[in-house]
Amino acid sequence: MTSPVSPAQPPGAHLPDHPDFLWDNPEPKASYDVVIVGGGGHGLATAYYLAKVHGITNVAVLEKGWLAGGNMARNTTIIRSNYLWDESSGIYEHSLKLWEGLEEDLGYPVLFDQRGVLNLAHSLQDVRDSVRRVNANRLNGIDAEWLDPEGVKEVCPIVNISQDVRYPVMGATFQPRAGIAKHDYVAWGYARAAHAMGVDLIQNCEVTGIETAGDRVTAVETTRGRIAAGRVALCAAGHSSVLAGMVGLRLPIASHPLQALVSELLEPVHPTVVMSNAVHVYVSQAHKGELVMGAGIDSYNGYGQRGSFHIIEQQMSAALELFPIFSRAHLLRTWAGIVDVSPDASPIVGLTPVEGLYLNCGWGTGGFKATPGVGDCFAHTIAHDKPHRFNEPFTLERFTTGALVDEHGAAAVAH
Give me the residues that bind other proteins (CB under 8 A), please.
239, 241-242, 250-255, 299-304, 306, 308-310, 343, 399-401
To other proteins, the closest distance from the beta carbon of 171 in angstroms equals 31
User: Residue 352 — left, alpha, or beta (φ > 0 → left; ψ -120 to 50 → alpha)?
Assistant: beta
Return left, alpha or beta for 209; rule: phi > 0 is left, psi -120 to 50 is alpha, else beta: beta
Nearest approach, Cβ of 245 to other proteins (angstroms)? 8
- List all residues 6 or more positions away from 125 whose beta carbon is below 8 Å from its beta carbon: none
Q: Which is nearer to other proteins, 335 or 399 (CB)?
A: 399
The residue (of 66 and 303) whose beta carbon lies closer to other proteins is 303
Neighbours of 352 (CB within 10 A): 19
Residue 238 CB, nearest distance to other proteins (Å)?
A: 9
* Torsion angle, alpha carbons of 312, 179, 375, 144, to 10: -110
CB of 244 to other proteins, least distance (A): 9
Closer of 100 and 206 to other proteins (Cβ): 206
Query: What's CA 285's distance to the chain center, in Å?
Result: 17
Neighbouring CB atoms inside 10 A of 386's CB total 12
> Count of residues for the chain?
415
Stretch (H or E) spanning 94: helix 86-100
User: Which of 193, 156, 190, 194 shows the shortest CA–CA distance to 176?
Assistant: 156
DSSP per-residue string spanning 208-237: EEEEEETTEEEEEEETTEEEEEEEEEE--G
Residue with smaller CB distance to other proteins, 114 or 305: 305
3 state SS of 401: helix
Nearest CA to 118 among 87, 157, 92?
A: 157
Could you tell me the smallest distance in angstroms from the CB atom of residue 302 to other proteins? 5
> Considering beta carbons, is residue 296 or 372 the nearer one to other proteins?
296
Work out how close the CB of 26 gets to other proteins at its nearest, in angstroms, rounded to a whole number: 28
Whose Cβ is closer to other proteins: residue 309's or residue 325's?
Answer: 309
Which residue lies nearer to other proteins by CB, 218 or 305? 305
CA-based nearest residue to 68, from 23, 2, 29, 105: 23
* Nearest-approach distance from CB 73 to other proteins, in angstroms: 19
The smaller minimum CB distance to other proteins, of residues 379 and 396, is found at 396
Euclidean distance between CA atoms 18 and 175, whole angstroms: 31
CB of 63 to other proteins, least distance (A): 17
